[in-house]
Amino acid sequence: MYTYKDYLIEIEERKAQGLHPKPIDGKELLSDIISQIKDVNNEYREDSLNFFIYNVLPGTTSAASVKSKFLKEIILGQEKVKEITVDFAFELLSHMKGGSSIEVLLDLALGEDAAIAEKAAIVLKTQVFLYEADIERLENGLNNGNAIAKELLESYAQAEFFTKLPEVDEKIDIVTFIAGVGDISTDLLSPGADAHSRSDRELHGQCIFEHNKEMQQELLALKEKHPDKRVMLVAEKGTMGVGSSRMSGVNNVALWTGISSSPYVPFINIAPVIAGTNGISPIFLTTVGVTGGIGIDLQNWVKQKDEEGNTIVDEEGEPILKQMYSVATGTVLTINTKEKKLYGGNVELKDISTALTPQKMEFIKAGGSYAVVFGKKLQTSACKILGIDVPQVYAPSKEISIEGQGLTAVEKIFNKNAVGTTPGKTLHAGSDVRVEVNIVGSQDTTGLMTSQELEMMAATVVSPIVDAGYQSGCHTASVWDDKSKANIPRLMQFMNDFGLITARDPKGGYHAMTDVIHKVLNDITIDDWAIIIGGDSHTRMSKGVAFGADSGTVALALATGEATMPIPQSVKVTFKGEMRSFMDFRDVVHATQQQMLKQYGGENVFQGRIIEVHIGTLTSDQAFTFTDWTAEMKAKASICISEDETLVESLEIARDRIQIMIEKGMDNKKQMLQGLVDKANERITEVKTGIKPALRPDADAKYYAEVVIDLDEIAEPMIADPDVNNDDVSKRYTHDTIRPLSFYGGTKKVDLGFVGSCMVHKGDMKILAQMLKNIESQQGKVEFKAPLVVAPPTYNIVDELKAEGDWEVLQKYSGFEFDDNAPKGLARTKYENLLYLERPGCNLCMGNQEKAEPGDTVMATSTRLFQGRVVKDAGEKKGESLLSSTPVVVLSTVLGRTPTMEEYEKAVEGIVLTKFKPSQKQLVI
């Protein structure tokens, strides 16, 4: 029981941190507050009234339910509060978005008091978060001759909740703030180490710019100097929002620079303006749309070309850039939303029509994409009940159909899953499409925000369209600390009740599973034609097409079973040559990025597009190494084209792993997992019998670019280097600096190794075991000169390694092994030169719990090399995270430095690394 006295204690604690009272979401506390409001002599009455009016979270929170019912009592005259008139009570209900407030408004609108009913109808005409039960009430009212029900349905059919909103301002004056030079990771805006506070928006807001108070004060001073202008956060000479979608990052930017969504809902701001010289990362741009913000591709620095159109480079082969216009901090600019131009005074600087498409303008007008998505659904439902055609209120979806042109893989998937498109029309890239979603994943550091979003859009159950929803526990797996104990059980309970399969059982019926979410989603995807949405940038499956998304888009997909986006362009990647026996597939992944940049003169043709990789012969576990890295390639997503036999093998592996989840007791009442097993068997039969072979693009499909990777060129391990000392700040921490092992000359000191994250699979664990045996046989013993942290991605991998004897090898050389019965309560801050067998999960890659020691040079299999993510700087020594294959990481920790090629080849002698031979079969139709 959380009482008002508890709340007062918390208020004092927050005041010491410079924070306001925490928004109220619980019914017990709000019931206390209402009791004090009713008592006119209560010493806390005035504060209680303010808390009730201004500090309650809306939607389906239990507090919102209590608030709605009390406002209903005031409207009906059953309770009297002099400060809350009937009209004000209706106004408060109008800001509560949905759930119990809609239920109350419908009670009043369909009630017998005509005056009250009319007022309730006026408010209801502005609402969009109505669900099937609400629409059913209106339909019943219509059938029973209720005039208000008819009036409401007619209003919804005309989408008056949208058409009567104010138009977007023609001119938006902005002032620039350079948040960083080069690519800006969402870690800068919402650090992973602060993941625990994301659902407490005001508290989390303090971490923007990685707690850099000087930058925060500079931003506040800029706002104070330009009170009539919006602040535009800029990534100078880089891309804004790389690394992840991070709804919390956009929330922080909006909190500091945006507009309040409602005077009665605290700390929820919308409409941030962000920009980058090289635009906005695709998944982060989607998140900006959720809040009705604007994301601008500035292109204020451009590559210089010679007379023949070739890029001019400097002595080091880097493109020479020229500044077209300045966006230095404090520059005043104007966005003209009608002309779709960016101005500096009266000078036109840039056409920004891609930032202000008709659809994005609707998001801006409606205050975010949710309102548009739900609005369209509500309009369609109302028209269906009234038996009329849907009026064209919203901007028509762009439908691009090119006669005689084949389809890429993503075009085929989108056409199959499309909703509401012109019947019989085949759509190509650039078309705007609503699609049904098959699999949805929520991860644990954004999950609390997803649950909040679901509450605020008044959703109570996963959409029946969704084949499976999964809530992970991997991002908080390594340390079961007080923050995790407070947040994660609550999250698992909410998601379990909502209808998802949850990593932890709220009832404790099965063993907690902290498996990496991407691996689980890869396993539960049982159709190569599927669309997957997940709350993490590495939601990139090797079956189907998967999109990383913010917590809100995940909530929307769970609630509606749909997502809306343009069909992306594709880049085709094929392979030639032969892979050397001592190379790992991770080296092929890095070489793909390197060779692509070389082939296209430094232009990243992958950015914002689908990478259609003709992998052919690799099963999903191994192919995932490629698709996972495509987030670092800045691609929007990727699709693996496989041979039929390979797809069948991958589907059988997935089906069997789902069956293990069922046997562990993880299935729910609706038998969601059993449904996946049945669908997997059906798909396997289709492929085996030839009824429906593996997904293949058409031979005459059109691609933005085609990249051919020459395996013969990959002569040594490839390492992604953060290049922390590059004189050009914009070139640091980009993932684009790919170097051969020989670059380091066998002399670069390595302080810590990490084998883990979503980039490794069972094969990596077996390679690790075999390398340790190799080294012992060659040197007589295994002695680590740097710590080696090992975090298997999943428990089923651990179980399989135990069954096959490899785990026993790892135990032999380890100095620490995780214990699920006594998980760590504190993050490790010091490491000895030992092998640490950590609990399955994200571990160091996430950066929110475990970290390397400041200033360390880390060699890791993970995906993140951003500043401060895995390792912080220490004084004059910069922390750096180099990314490489498992063999390179292991050998680096044994040697305490990067190995030479001779040492490397000797260490992997006789070990079967990931085999890959380009398919000799036709992978197109």
Q: Match 């109350």 to its residue by tokens.
A: 104
Contact 246, 190 (CB under 8 A): yes
Give the chain's end-to-end CA distance (angstroms, integer): 63
DSSP designation for 499: T
CA 763 to CA 820: how far, in whole Å? 24
CA angle at residue 673 from 672 to 678, to 5 degrees? 100
Q: What is the CA radius of gyration of the chain?
A: 28
Contact 904, 741 (CB under 8 A): yes
Contact 398, 565 (CB under 8 A): no
CA 239 to CA 100: how far, in whole Å? 41
CA angle at residue 22 from 21 to 28, to 5 degrees? 105
Phi, psi of 662 (to 5 degrees): -65, -45
CA 756 to CA 466: how far, in whole Å? 30
- The helix (H) or strand (E) run that includes residue 756 is strand 752-756
Q: Which residues pair with 350 in a beta bridge?
A: 342
Output the pLDDT for position 397: 83
Mean pLDDT (10-residue bins), the chain, 925 residues: 91 95 95 96 97 94 95 97 97 93 97 97 97 94 97 98 97 98 92 85 95 97 97 96 84 96 94 96 88 96 85 79 95 98 97 95 95 92 96 92 97 94 93 94 91 88 96 93 91 96 95 93 96 91 93 91 92 96 95 95 93 95 93 93 97 96 96 98 98 97 98 96 91 93 97 94 94 91 96 93 95 94 91 96 88 95 90 91 97 97 93 88 92
CA 642 to CA 598: how far, in whole Å? 26
Query: Which two structure tokens, joined as six digits, stand for 7?
Result: 């709340």
Output the pLDDT for position 318: 76
Output the pLDDT for position 813: 92
DSSP designation for 56: B
CA 889 to CA 840: how far, in whole Å? 18
CB within 8 Å of 739: residues ≥ 6 apart: 718, 719, 721
Contact 437, 416 (CB under 8 A): no
pTM: 0.85
CA 189 to CA 243: how far, in whole Å? 11
CA 248 to CA 245: how far, in whole Å? 9
CA 57 to CA 25: how far, in whole Å? 6
Characterize 70-100 residue by residue with b for buried, 16 or more Cβ atoms within 10 angstroms of its Cβ, and e for exposed.
bbbbbbeeebebeebeeeebbebbbbbbbbb
For residue 575, the one-letter residue type is F
Query: Which two structure tokens, joined as six digits, stand for 572?
Result: 């085709």
Show the DSSP H helices in 741-794 as ranges: 762-779
How do strand 835-837 and strand 788-791 relate by DSSP bridges? parallel
Is residue 385 classed as helix, strand or coil in its secondary structure?
helix
Query: Which two structure tokens, joined as six digits, stand for 33?
Result: 């507050």
Output the pLDDT for position 912: 87
How do strand 857-860 and strand 418-419 relate by DSSP bridges? unpaired
CA 180 to CA 186: how far, in whole Å? 12
CA 517 to CA 522: how far, in whole Å? 8
CB within 8 Å of 504: residues ≥ 6 apart: 473, 488, 489, 492, 512, 513
Cα-based distances in Å from 518 to 445, 539, 874: 14, 6, 32
Phi, psi of 182 (to 5 degrees): 95, -175
- Of the candidates 97, 21, 30, the residue with the CA atom closest to the CA atom of residue 63: 30
CA 230 to CA 292: how far, in whole Å? 14
Output the pLDDT for position 547: 94
Identify the sign of the CA torsion 596, 599, 601, 606. Answer: negative
CA angle at residue 493 from 869 to 96, to 5 degrees? 90
Cβ neighbours, 10 Å, residue 480: 20
Q: Which residues pair with 32 in a beta bridge?
A: none
Cα-based distances in Å from 622 to 264, 765, 921: 50, 13, 19
CA 565 to CA 549: how far, in whole Å? 12
Query: Which two structure tokens, joined as six digits, stand for 497?
Result: 């009740």
Residue 512 CA to chain centroid, in angstroms?
23
Output the pLDDT for position 75: 98
Cα-based distances in Å from 921 to 11, 638, 644, 674, 697: 67, 21, 10, 34, 14
How do strand 321-323 and strand 301-303 relate by DSSP bridges? antiparallel
Query: Which two structure tokens, joined as six digits, stand for 518?
Result: 């991407």
CB-based burial of residue 353 (10 Å sphere; 0-12 exposed, 13-18 middle, 19+ buried)? exposed
Cβ neighbours, 10 Å, residue 468: 27
For residue 676, the one-letter residue type is L
Output the pLDDT for position 855: 95
